[in-house]
Chain A
Amino acid sequence: MNETVLLLAAAIASGTPLVLAGLGLLINEKSGVLNLGAEGMMLVAAVAGFATALGTGSEILALGAGAAAGAVAAAAFGVLVIGLNANQYAAGLALSIFGAGLSAFVGIGYVGKKLEGPAAPLAGSIGHWLGELPLVGPLLFRQHPVVWLSLALTLLVAWLLYRTRAGLVLRAVGESPESAHALGYPVRTIRFAAVVTGGALCGVAGACLSVVYAPMWVEGLVAGRGWIALALTTFATWRPGRVLVGAWLFGGVTLLQFHLQAQGVAIASQLLAMLPYLATIVVLALISRNPAWIRANMPASLGRPFHAG
């Protein structure tokens, strides 16, 4: 029992960067823009966050730096695909490759440097008491605050998308930019804002990996999580709640793999390391069997450029 709870808590911790990136990409894609550069944005943000944490010792500043780095990378992407109508697929792939290169280059000096591990989130007797609560204690209150942030953001994004006019406008732009334009909405501006917001959240996710989760920097630290987050938004059919659950699920599978290795299961570790990615592909294939699910939520203009009037 106790071990299961700890495993679940670890799954949540390991899935949290994916929640953040997945929510960012969800906002991004709901506007109708596909940003395949998630991996690159997360890498750049991870190195920026790590450097900031090393320099200032502040986790909050580090996450902020990650957000800023992700936003800047996304803004560059936005200028290309929204301002200049460049192909979204090609520009996104370029951003991923560029981010991998840049982060490796900038990060050379940081390899092997150590951060102090994150402090216990809740100090004092109340914090101790909350942390000792059965189930919710380890699952929630002994987690890093960034986990709480991811939960709050899930609720916030769901509320924004489905309960506010701003969210309605965003969904409208993603579904039919031509109609939104005809009604007088500034399609390009809205799309750009969504892309930059998405980039900032991917940035927080990247910094979260290098500052909170790992906490260290090596080349390619993100290890495909940007791609997984992209798949996650699709298999969550662009619903925030499903992004959360899917990310935790993926975090769980990642941990399960370590767990199985530790238990000495006689499968090559390389094969076990493939498990999370395999799981993603299997779930994607299963989801695609129900097109109704996807079409009811998918932004209809995803990946299509918008040419005004």
Chain B
Amino acid sequence: MPRLQLEGITRHYPGVKANDGIDLTVAAGEIHAVLGENGAGKSTLMKIIHGSVRPDAGTVRWNGEAVQLASPAMAQALGISMVYQHFSLFETLSVAENVWLGLPRGESLASVARRIEAMGASYDLAVDPRRPLHALSVGERQRVEIIRALLGAPKLLILDEPTSVLAPQAIEGLFATLRRLASEGCSILYVSHKLDEIRALCDRCTVLRGGRVTGEVVPARETPGSLSRLMIGTEPPPLTRIAVQPGPVALSVHALSLPDETVHGTALDQVSLALRTGEILGIAGVSGNGQQALLACLSGERVIGPGGDRAAVRLFGNPVGGLGPRERRALGLHFVPEERLGRGAVPALGLDRNTLLTRTEGIGRVGQLKPRAMHALAARLIERFDVRAGGPGSAASSLSGGNLQKFIVGREIDAEPKVLVVAQPTWGVDVGAAAVIRAELLALRARGAAVLVVSEDLDELFLLCDRLQVIARGRLSPARPISETSPAQVGEWMSGLWPGAGNEGAAVATADGTR
């Protein structure tokens, strides 16, 4: 008898059928993948299984019996636990307190702390229960989430895109833990859009597209190409990299150190880089290691004060450390921030007005808005970068993540920048849109621009970049050409252990939190 069985699950939202007659069966001790692009209905389906959304039609069977999951608490009582993609943890509380809050009443904090340590030891999920959460790396936070779920002794564990925040070693560790859990009889629903992970980990795989099941397969017997066809209908075109002779240094940072501006952020420590025209330089690293501070210094959001070393940041040889984003943009440096809504675009405004954030086409000589020029520019971007939107007037918030990202990246590329700094270009973006964005970045490089890509996605960096540097604990590693390094080495460097880092043997917390 299957542990979980979904029959004909359907859920409408205004204007869309998020789930349309979905069948899904998970056996005891099985690792079952749910594969699909953003917007394919994965999240809605998981919310239905976890009781936070109710289906319009269809049946959920638990160990053969039809159940009505009216709330997360009910699902929890049946033994269904969920590890969220965006963690539901509390920054200012300790690890033990965070876990305690997720457990039923009646257990003392000290006993919870002991159980965390025991669980950590037996499942290789070591984390100190006394540490405050804000001192933990992202990988450690995920362990806390998983420990919290496991302490409830679940029969079914749902993981929503669990590896999007992990370094390669941490992913291996997570997989080992999940296999061990499955071998003890816990069923696992593994939601992802990463094909190789699913092929490495999962026993079976249900593929969703547009709210419908497009296939149920054994992933080990599939190729990335065949899975991709099930997921998006086609295979994404291969990227073409043409050889470009790199030119002079366009953007450079020399021995820049910055104090910590926020409690939870990381300061920069003697950071140096040199980006040349006609190349893509990648900055790899687990988020929270100083990327925010580095990007802010490059874009001009954080201006170096008169007392600081303003010559530490140079654009074509000229010191720009004291210039703001507008002044740097005028010199040819454009920037795509990580957060699409709120920083890259104003959510409530139309795409036409959102062009005004970094473009001047829509502004007249005395500062008046020129609606027709804005409209024309937005229309051109929509056309050129294949943005699926209602029209130039559609609010930015109405676009899917991938389409908005295409619009924002397109807005900057269309300005023909001499230097483009991009943070997480395809984070949370579907495969099709990611392919478009990557191809555009490569095309920009081929036209002689200098491109800096900050990303957590190693596959992406190895696809795009000519050279790579790694950021860890606010320091930058030396640059290595792609041909002279490997994902394994970069993964190692992500823990701050590169030759000459000067901290070999010191107590440096690694990306996955081991010491």
A contact residues vs B (CB 8 Å cutoff):
165, 168-169, 171-172, 175-176, 178-180, 182-185, 291-292, 295-297, 300, 309
Contact A179 B89 (CB under 8 A): yes
B contact residues vs A (CB 8 Å cutoff):
52, 71-73, 76, 84, 87-93, 97, 100-102, 105, 109, 262-264
13 A-B residue pairings within 8 Å (CB atoms): A168-B100, A171-B90, A172-B90, A175-B90, A175-B91, A176-B88, A176-B90, A179-B90, A184-B72, A184-B76, A295-B262, A297-B92, A300-B92
Known: A165-B100, A172-B101. 16 other contacts (CB 8 A): A165-B105, A168-B101, A169-B101, A171-B90, A175-B90, A178-B88, A179-B89, A183-B101, A183-B102, A184-B76, A185-B101, A295-B262, A295-B264, A296-B92, A297-B92, A300-B91
- The CA-CA distance from A3 to B109 in the complex, in Å, is 48
Which single residue of chain A is at the shortest CB-CB distance from B52? A309
- The CA-CA distance from A280 to B102 in the complex, in Å, is 40
Contact B263 A295 (CB under 8 A): yes
- The CA-CA distance from A184 to B74 in the complex, in Å, is 10
Q: Give 6 nearest A-B pairs by CB, closest first.
A: A179-B88, A182-B88, A295-B263, A184-B73, A175-B90, A292-B263
Contact B72 A171 (CB under 8 A): no
Which single residue of chain A is at the shortest CB-CB distance from B102? A183
Which single residue of chain A is at the shortest CB-CB distance from B74? A184
Which single residue of chain B is at the shortest CB-CB distance from A168? B97
Task: Please give, as numbers and ranges, the residues of chain B lying within 8 Å of A175 by CB-CB distance.
Answer: 90-93
Task: Please give, as numbers and ranges, the residues of chain A lying within 8 Å of B87 by CB-CB distance.
Answer: 179
Task: Please give, as numbers and ranges, the residues of chain B lying within 8 Å of A184 by CB-CB distance.
Answer: 71-73, 76
Task: Please give, as numbers and ranges, the residues of chain B lying within 8 Å of A180 by CB-CB distance.
Answer: 101
Which single residue of chain A is at the shortest CB-CB distance from B106? A165
Contact A168 B263 (CB under 8 A): no
Which single residue of chain A is at the shortest CB-CB distance from B107? A165
- The CA-CA distance from A257 to B56 in the complex, in Å, is 69
Among B71, B89, B101, the one with the most A-chain Cβ atoms within 10 Å of its Cβ is: B101
Contact A171 B93 (CB under 8 A): yes
- The CA-CA distance from A233 to B91 in the complex, in Å, is 21
Contact B263 A296 (CB under 8 A): yes
- The CA-CA distance from A221 to B277 in the complex, in Å, is 70
Contact A291 B92 (CB under 8 A): no
Task: Please give, as numbers and ranges, the residues of chain A lying within 8 Å of B72 by CB-CB distance.
Answer: 182, 184
- Give the shortest distance, in Å, between B37 (CB) and chain A (any CB): 24
Task: Please give, as numbers and ranges, the residues of chain A lying within 8 Å of B262 by CB-CB distance.
Answer: 291, 295
Task: Please give, as numbers and ranges, the residues of chain A lying within 8 Å of B92 by CB-CB distance.
Answer: 171, 175, 296-297, 300
- The CA-CA distance from A184 to B72 in the complex, in Å, is 7
- The CA-CA distance from A249 to B387 in the complex, in Å, is 61
Task: Please give, as numbers and ranges, the residues of chain A lying within 8 Å of B88 by CB-CB distance.
Answer: 176, 178-179, 182-183
Task: Please give, as numbers and ranges, the residues of chain B lying within 8 Å of A169 by CB-CB distance.
Answer: 101
Contact A182 B91 (CB under 8 A): no
Task: Please give, as numbers and ranges, the residues of chain A lying within 8 Å of B263 by CB-CB distance.
Answer: 291-292, 295-296
Task: Please give, as numbers and ranges, the residues of chain B lying within 8 Å of A309 by CB-CB distance.
Answer: 52
- Give the shortest distance, in Å, between A54 (CB) and chain B (any CB): 46
Which single residue of chain B is at the shortest CB-CB distance from A294? B263
Find B84's partner among A172, A182, A292, A296 (CB 8 Å cutoff). Answer: A182
- The CA-CA distance from A182 to B52 in the complex, in Å, is 9
Among B73, B90, B264, the one with the most A-chain Cβ atoms within 10 Å of its Cβ is: B90
- The CA-CA distance from A303 to B482 in the complex, in Å, is 48
Q: Given A165-B105, A183-B101, A295-B263: A172 and B52 within 8 A (CB)?
A: no
